[in-house]
């Protein structure tokens, strides 16, 4: 009986160690991916700062054409920046440079590779969101942005809950960390969608596509 109890205790301890190791790998991978995400976000934020100032200047001069031109230029640069960041991250991932640079732990490397795919694919979206933030802030659309963020947060929680607790959507895979990151992508996607709606509004302050100008 004592030997059986000892065997069970040893097995339980081993399983606990495995679980703890897996959790540590996930947390480490999350921290690395988060720092890369923040680094890319800081670069994209430069677009927001520039566009906010230039759009505010055009709005102050009541120059709708200048506001539209500046906004279109900012989004063009944003697309180029987002694609460039994605390309850099893709090369770093495929060459194993990023995983080799940050960790030698196999568990962490495995978890990090999954997250790097998400971070890489999200950069064009991320750059658009930051550029849109700057343009809308320059146009003083703060109440709209607050409502947009509230809706985006609710969307992110809904997506995470669906992935985490709905078997058909991935609850059975137990990959909570990936679900968290997909929730973040859902948040950015909703921010992008709501921003785009405001940006192309014919009677809005930006009228990015010039629809109001054509109508008149």
Q: pLDDT tens across 133-180, in order?
A: 999 999 999 999 999 999 999 999 999 999 888 876 555 566 888 899
| Structure tokens that stand for 214 in this block | 């054509």
Question: What is the model's pLDDT at position 56?
Answer: 92
| Structure tokens that stand for 42 in this block | 């800081």
CA distance 128 to 51: 12
| Mean pLDDT for the stretch of residues 3-28 | 49
Backbone dihedral angles phi then psi of residue 208, each to the nearest 5 degrees:
-55, -35
CA distance 168 to 182: 16
Q: Is the pLDDT of residue 182 over 70?
A: yes
CA distances from 62 to 1, 49, 52, 59 (A): 87, 20, 15, 5
Q: pLDDT tens across 35-57, in order?
A: 999 999 999 988 888 889 999 99
Q: Which pLDDT band, with edges at 50, 70 and 90, does 25 fall under?
A: confident
Q: pLDDT tens across 96-145, in order?
A: 999 899 888 888 888 899 899 999 999 999 999 999 999 999 999 999 99
Backbone dihedral angles phi then psi of residue 200, each to the nearest 5 degrees:
-95, 0
Residue 65 C-beta-side C-alpha neighbours within 13 Å: 2
**Dihedral sign computed on CA atoms, order 95, 102, 85, 125:** positive
The model's pTM is 0.83
Q: Is the pLDDT of residue 17 over 50?
A: no
Q: pLDDT tens across 59-70, in order?
A: 989 888 999 999
Computed over every residue of the chain, the mean pLDDT equals 84
Q: Which pLDDT band, with edges at 50, 70 and 90, does 16 fall under?
A: very low
DSSP 172: G
Residue 191 contacts residue 148 (beta carbons within 8 Å):
yes
């Amino acid at each position: 009986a004592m030997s059986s109890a000892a065997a069970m205790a040893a097995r339980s301890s081993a399983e606990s160690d495995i679980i703890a190791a897996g959790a540590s790998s996930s947390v480490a991978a999350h921290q690395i991916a988060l720092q890369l995400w923040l680094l890319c976000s800081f670069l994209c934020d430069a677009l927001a700062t520039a566009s906010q100032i230039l759009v505010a200047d055009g709005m102050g001069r009541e120059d709708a054409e200048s506001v539209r031109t500046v906004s279109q230029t900012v989004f063009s640069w944003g697309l180029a920046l987002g694609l460039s960041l994605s390309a850099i991250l893709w090369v770093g991932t495929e060459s194993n440079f990023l995983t080799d640079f940050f960790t030698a732990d196999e568990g962490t490397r495995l978890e990090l590779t999954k997250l790097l795919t998400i971070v890489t694919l999200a950069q064009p979206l991320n750059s658009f969101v930051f550029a849109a933030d700057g343009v809308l802030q320059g146009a003083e659309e703060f109440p709209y942005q607050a409502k947009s963020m509230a809706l985006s947060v609710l969307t992110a929680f809904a997506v995470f809950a669906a992935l985490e607790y709905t078997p058909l959507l991935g609850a059975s895979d137990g990959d909570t960390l990936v679900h968290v990151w997909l929730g973040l992508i859902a948040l950015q996607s909703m921010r992008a969608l709501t921003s785009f709606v405001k940006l192309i509004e014919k009677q809005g302050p930006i009228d990015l596509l010039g629809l109001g100008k054509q109508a008149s």
